[in-house]
């Protein structure tokens, strides 16, 4: 299961098996979306599969998640989504009302994101072989010509912004499964990130260097990818990282670090230091960005490492996620 968690095992699988067989210039960056030149434009193409359990959880469901997740992969690649496809893998015996409910959730999520589900496919597998419903969505978008989002664009001194509280989606799934005896309800943060991305683009422009939505593997894994690929260091300030008390409590019970818990409606952005304060205010003015924070900065050294300055005055290394503490999270 760790090969599907988005951490070290996932990277090993991709880099040792998939990349050697399929290697090409569009795939090589291993970004959330591939960037494909098309005439004078650049297209972003992404695909994702959703196997979350349970199908419905506080704040969302698999149908809404499948649309928002793919829209968000396009948005953090600097692209405006123009169309989605959806493939449904349905287990024999699934209640028609459940299927209709999830298709309806997909429709409402697509309408909210302003993008059509333009094509799709359905398959049915034998009873006991599909766990109800799996959804695969693919999205295509047009990349903003004024942006060059890449780890290679990052510079020492750049600030790292987080759009809101981390770990909400993972905690919501844990509580929905009944794995924790907590009375508090934590809704998933699933939402389209396009309004937050538009706000960032409006104030930061070319000073917006890099974006990613920290889903599987959480913020800790995304920031390790950034440090590894840029060749620089990432420094975090623990007291500035927004995490709800209930999420911290759930993670303490399970012995997990909330930096590795999945999010489905948050983004991390690297911004030129001269634009960072304006970018933060722009995020906070948008629904879903009210708890945005500048959580760290890019530094020259130590190269390819993520270090967190703790609230107690110490420093600890943040590694990429190892293992899979929360399988079937999205």
The 3-class SS string of 70-119 reads HHHHHHCCCEEEEEEEEEEEEECCCCHHHHHHHHHHHHHHHHHHCCCEEE
Question: Comparing 5-14, 102-111, 233-242, 269-278, which segment has the lowest mean pLDDT?
Answer: 5-14
Question: Comparing 101-105, 172-176, 230-234, which segment has the lowest mean pLDDT?
Answer: 172-176
Q: Is 314 exposed, middle or buried (0-12, 13-18, 19+ CB in 10 A)?
A: exposed
Q: Is the pLDDT assigned to residue 309 strictly greater than 80?
A: yes
Q: Is the pLDDT assigned to residue 243 strictly greater than 80?
A: yes
- Give the tens place of pLDDT for each residue, 60-74: 999 999 999 999 999
pTM assigned to the model: 0.94
The percent of residues in the chain predicted with pLDDT above 70, rounded, is 98
Question: Comparing 33-37, 184-188, 213-217, 290-294, which segment has the lowest mean pLDDT?
Answer: 184-188
**Mean pLDDT of the chain, nearest integer:** 94
CATH superfamily of 151-318: PurM-like C-terminal domain (3.90.650.10)
Q: Give the model's pLDDT for residue 22.
A: 92
- Range(s) for CATH 3.90.650.10 in the chain? 151-318
Q: Are 269 and 208 in contact (CB under 8 A)?
A: yes
138 φ/ψ angles, rounded to the nearest 5 degrees:
-125, 140
Q: Give the model's pLDDT for residue 83.
A: 98
**How big is the chain, counted in residues?**
330
Separation between Cα atoms, residue 158 and residue 274, nearest integer Å: 9
Separation between Cα atoms, residue 257 and residue 267, nearest integer Å: 18
Pick the CATH number of 31-143 from 3.60.40.10, 2.40.50.100, 3.30.1330.10, 3.40.1710.10: 3.30.1330.10
What's the longest Cα–Cα distance across the chain?
57
Question: Comparing 38-42, 176-180, 289-293, which segment has the lowest mean pLDDT?
Answer: 176-180
- Range(s) for CATH 3.30.1330.10 in the chain? 31-143
Q: Is the pLDDT assigned to residue 12 strictly greater than 90?
A: no
């Amino acid at each position: 299961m760790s090969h599907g968690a988005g951490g070290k095992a996932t990277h090993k699988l991709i880099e040792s098996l998939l990349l050697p067989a399929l290697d090409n210039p569009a795939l090589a960056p291993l970004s959330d979306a591939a960037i494909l030149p098309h005439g004078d434009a650049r297209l972003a193409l992404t695909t994702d599969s959703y196997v979350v359990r349970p199908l419905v959880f506080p704040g969302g469901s698999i149908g809404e998640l499948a649309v928002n997740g793919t829209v968000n992969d396009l948005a953090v690649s600097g692209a405006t989504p123009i169309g989605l496809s959806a493939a449904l893998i349905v287990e024999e015996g699934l209640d028609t009302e459940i299927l209709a409910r999830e298709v309806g959730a997909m429709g409402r999520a697509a309408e909210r994101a302003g993008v059509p589900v333009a094509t799709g496919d359905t398959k049915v597998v034998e009873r006991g072989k599909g766990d109800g419903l799996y959804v695969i969505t693919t999205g295509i978008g047009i990349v903003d010509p004024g942006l060059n989002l890449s780890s290679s664009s990052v510079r020492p001194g750049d600030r790292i912004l987080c759009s809101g509280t981390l770990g909400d989606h993972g905690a919501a799934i844990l509580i929905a499964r009944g794995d924790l005896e907590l009375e508090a309800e934590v809704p998933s943060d699933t939402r389209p990130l396009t309004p937050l991305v538009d706000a960032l683009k409006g104030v930061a422009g070319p000073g917006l260097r890099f974006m990613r939505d920290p889903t599987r593997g959480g913020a800790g894994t995304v920031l390790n990818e950034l440090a590894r690929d840029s060749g620089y260091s990432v420094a975090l300030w623990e007291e500035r990282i927004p995490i709800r008390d209930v999420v911290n409590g759930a993670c303490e019970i399970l012995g997990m670090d909330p930096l590795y818990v999945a999010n489905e409606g948050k983004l991390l952005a690297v911004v030129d230091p001269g634009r960072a304060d304006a970018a933060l205010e722009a995020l906070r003015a948008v629904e879903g960005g009210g708890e945005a924070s500048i959580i760290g900065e890019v530094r020259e050294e130590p190269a390819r490492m993520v270090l967190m300055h703790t609230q107690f005055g110490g420093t600890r290394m943040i590694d990429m996620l190892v293992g899979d503490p929360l399988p079937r999270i999205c």
